[in-house]
Amino acid sequence: MKPITWFLVGLLTAASVLRGNSDPGGFSLHGDIVLDPVLREWLARTEKGIQREFAETSKEVFIRFRNRSGFELSGVKLRSIAGNVATARVNRTQMIELLRNPNLFNLEGSRGCGPLLDVSRPAVGVHHVHSGALDIPRKGKNVIIGFVDYGLDFRHGDFIDSTGQTRVLWCWDQTDPSGSPPGPWGYGSEYSSADIQGWLESGTQKAGIDLWGHGTHVAGIAAGNGLAAGNNQSAGVYIGMAPEAFLIVVKGADRGLIPDTWVIDGIQYIFSKAAAEGLPAIINLSLGKQQGPRDGSSAFESALDASLEQDGTAVPGRAIVTAAGNDGQKPIHAMGIFNSQDPVHIKELNMNVDSNPSSALDRISLEGWIHDSLPVMITVTSPSGFTLGPVMRGTYEFWSMNDRAYLYVDNGSENRHVNGDWRLYIHLSDRTASAQASIETGTWTVQLQRYTGGEGRFDIWMTETTIPARFTSLVDTTTLITEPANARRAVTVGAFITRNTWSSLGLDSVHISGLEVGSRLKTSSPGPTRPSSHDPVPRWKPELSAPGAYILSAMSRDMDPPAEWTSIARDSMHWAWKGTSMAAPHVSGVIALMLEAEPQITTPEIKWRLTTSVKQDTWTGSGWNPAWGYGKLDGFAVMRQLTDVKSVESENKSFKRLQNAPNPFNQQTTIRARFDQMPSPGRVQIRFFDVRGRLVRKIKTRVEPGENVWIWDGKNGIGENLPSGVYFAEIQAGQWVGKCKMLLIR
């Protein structure tokens, strides 16, 4: 093998500049700032003039500050602020200024999110909820479902009510510079329901156009009312989960990838509009990306969680649903573990590059996450034997072979991530599209050699490739959920099959062989989340699975190219598609029904109700598993459980509401009540009931005028732990009666 040393000498200055010495701009990088290796690579390349074609002059970024004061000192225009994370676009000069900010903790480059594609209403029992088989008919009335996606066919009849009025309240087309942008985001164009109604009346849609068809199809599953029909076919066949819900649409791209910073901007926009309307809202994200630690700690997933919180507490009436991804059968994840006593000090990841057309500008990116306790050296070897490395922990190196190939290896130069781990980043690309095939075909090897005594786990994903490539060693088929679906507060959804046959425009019966109704869609990405140094226990994702193949839903008339005729339903207004993109909106629609019944419900209770109401069968097994989550979505069971709770509450309308925290709780919760006008103190009982109204415990206590505090440990009268569920505490003291509802999660 021939070590590549001649080029690295010239790059040591760039490496030291970005590690805290001095560059031509004269800035000093604070020792614990975490700088994304993609941004570090970009800074180094712009400094040295090493650019690929179509290089960017500015970057979309997530900025994570140490505290709120950092926002005022940033020196750049900030758009969304969620917790301590902000979104912005910066050029090289602005980025260097940010790196001088002592309040900066982490600067992370934006990555693109793509669509997660690969007889559902009765399958989840929602038709019974619509018909009023429970308390009253519920169809998502006075609830908003927001979509950050690829636009919407606003003229499609499934999004227009029976009076001819649009059901869309707002549209923000982030790609449209022709109109007025919404503040404070400052880009794209915003359109009101009045604007959209004008489009309906004129017959011309001016923005938010869905060229891909993805946004329209997804929205139809969650909220289509089924009123659209053609070719003398009956309406009311393809009805979504919440056919009376309002919609807010954010379009992030015509096709291809949507920047994850724009996704967060879209989330903030939708929730701000919902708050102004005074309505609860769910946001559906049928998109995702491969990059990230997959443990909920990235700026992207942290910002998503912060959008559902206020001061660390879940905000009532808000939820976000994410698709798990469609990588269930792809050899794109490698995993290895070094034990301290293991005599093996080297592990090798082999990656086969099958072909590389000479006419395209191609690239492959790998991203790895390595436990803090496992320092390793990285060596990359090409099929012809050229070697780059070993690259030591905390450093980076790159290699350019004339005007052909380009290789960049970053072994944790950004410092430890917020999760305590070190990030590995490998980027391989052609230099130009006109050169001969530059990324060598054959087997590339990434060698990880541990330092003496090192132990722990490493994970590596192929996060991007434009040519056929695959891992052939150390392949692991778990932990494939895309970001942002690893976020703690997101409801993450896998997919199963409910249809493999339908009637199309040209055929009486279209049948897809190899798909068994009721089984898991094999491409649905399995969990769990990745264990990190700071969070060593993986979290259970996905939470549940929903119908994802084949789903007939609304078809955009603007699709270019149009859908294949065999996938189009006989009414010419709906078509069949599959993927976890289709599964997520089923859950979003069911949550809309939940929020209609209980507008103040929070994400933890939503998750608990969804996961304790699932269907389990021979496919899913019992309990949670990485492929299915807890089981199959059962919308009827969810709503039956929720309306049972409401009936318990309705019997006690005269009760004074008590407060308890934390809620939900695991070990214990503190109940508080204030009785300012109580004539005298006295001994009373607190009674605890389950959701069926059964008495589970009585506690004798004393009530005093003023503030009263009690603690409940989630146990019954004989000291046994009660199972997870909703419980009610009731106390009566003279004419005063108090009550609170609590969620116990084991």
Pick from 567, 587, 613: nearest CA to 726: 613
pLDDT over 90 at 316, yes or no: yes
Same domain, 630 and 679: no
HSE of 667, CA atoms in CB hemisphere, 13 A: 0
**pLDDT value at residue 742:** 87
**pLDDT value at residue 436:** 54
In a domain, 63, yes or no: yes
Confidence of residue 47 (pLDDT cuts 50, 70, 90): low
Q: What is the CATH number of the domain that holds 58?
A: 3.30.70
253: DSSP letter: -
**pLDDT value at residue 270:** 99
Same domain, 133 and 95: no
20-34, 52-66, 283-297, 398-412: the lowest-pLDDT one:
20-34
Euclidean distance between CA atoms 54 and 46, whole angstroms: 13
Q: Please, which residues bridge with residue 333 across strands?
A: 461
User: Which of 476, 499, 523 is the last residue in one of the domains?
Assistant: 476
In a domain, 647, yes or no: no
Confidence of residue 723 (pLDDT cuts 50, 70, 90): confident
pLDDT digit string, tens, across residues 333-359: 999 999 988 888 999 999 999 988 766
pLDDT digit string, tens, across residues 162-175: 999 999 999 999 99
Phi-psi bin for 369: left (phi > 0), alpha (psi -120 to 50), beta?
beta
**pLDDT value at residue 358:** 67
Cis check: omega of the bond before 626, within 30 degrees of 0: no
**pLDDT value at residue 745:** 86
pLDDT digit string, tens, across residues 417-455: 999 999 999 999 886 655 555 788 999 999 999 987 889
Are 464 and 365 in contact by the 8 Å Cβ rule? The answer is yes
Q: Print the domain residue range for 731.
A: 652-744
Same domain, 294 and 366: no
In a domain, 359, yes or no: yes
Same domain, 454 and 520: no
pLDDT over 60 at 29, yes or no: no
In a domain, 562, yes or no: yes
12-16, 122-126, 269-273: the lowest-pLDDT one:
12-16
Q: What is the CATH number of the domain that holds 497?
A: 3.40.50.200
In a domain, 114, yes or no: no
Cβ neighbours of 119 (radius 10 Å): 13
Q: What average pLDDT does the segment 641-653 reach?
A: 55
3-state SS of 144-179? EEEEEECCCCCCCHHHECCCCCECEEEEEECCCCCC
In a domain, 105, yes or no: yes
Confidence of residue 202 (pLDDT cuts 50, 70, 90): very high
Instruction: Tell me the average pLDDT of the chain.
Output: 87
pLDDT over 70 at 518, yes or no: yes
Euclidean distance between CA atoms 718 and 163, whole angstroms: 59
Structure-token pair, residue 583: 């599964």
Q: What is the CATH number of the domain that holds 435?
A: 2.60.120.1290
Rg (the chain; Cα; Å):
27
Are 41 and 109 in contact by the 8 Å Cβ rule? The answer is no
Euclidean distance between CA atoms 550 and 496, whole angstroms: 9
3-state secondary structure of 706: strand
Q: What is the CATH number of the domain that holds 727?
A: 2.60.40.4070
Are 364 and 469 in contact by the 8 Å Cβ rule? The answer is yes
Structure-token pair, residue 613: 């109401």
Q: C-alpha distances in angstroms, 151 versus 202, 251, 259, 686, 741?
A: 19, 5, 15, 53, 40
Q: Please, which residues bridge with residue 689 across strands?
A: 695, 728
Length of the chain counted residue by residue? 746
Same domain, 567 and 663: no
**pLDDT value at residue 6:** 26
**pLDDT value at residue 34:** 82
Same domain, 175 and 315: yes
Q: Are strands 281-285 and 318-323 parallel, antiparallel or unpaired?
A: parallel
> Whose structure tokens read 């976020």?
487
Are 215 and 114 in contact by the 8 Å Cβ rule? The answer is no
**pLDDT value at residue 649:** 44
Q: What average pLDDT does the segment 265-279 reach?
A: 98
Listed in sequence order, the residues at least 6 apart from 610 whose beta carbon sits closer than 8 Å to its beta carbon are 491, 543, 544, 587, 590, 591, 633, 638
Q: What average pLDDT does the segment 580-606 reach?
A: 95
Same domain, 290 and 431: no
47-51, 127-131, 176-180, 418-422: the lowest-pLDDT one:
47-51
In a domain, 115, yes or no: no
- DSSP states of 175-233: T--SSPPPTTT-SSEEEEHHHHHHHHHHT---S---SSSHHHHHHHHHH--S----TTP
Same domain, 175 and 241: yes
Same domain, 682 and 707: yes
pLDDT over 90 at 659, yes or no: no
Same domain, 72 and 29: yes
Euclidean distance between CA atoms 405 and 428, whole angstroms: 7
What interhelical angle do 299-307 and 260-277 show, nearest 10?
0
User: Which of 622, 642, 662 is the last residue in one of the domains?
Assistant: 642
Same domain, 295 and 374: no
User: Which of 450, 476, 502 is the last residue in one of the domains?
Assistant: 476
Selected residue with higher pLDDT from 17 and 279: 279
**pLDDT value at residue 343:** 82
Per the structure, how many domains does the chain have? Answer: 4
Confidence of residue 680 (pLDDT cuts 50, 70, 90): low
Same domain, 340 and 449: yes
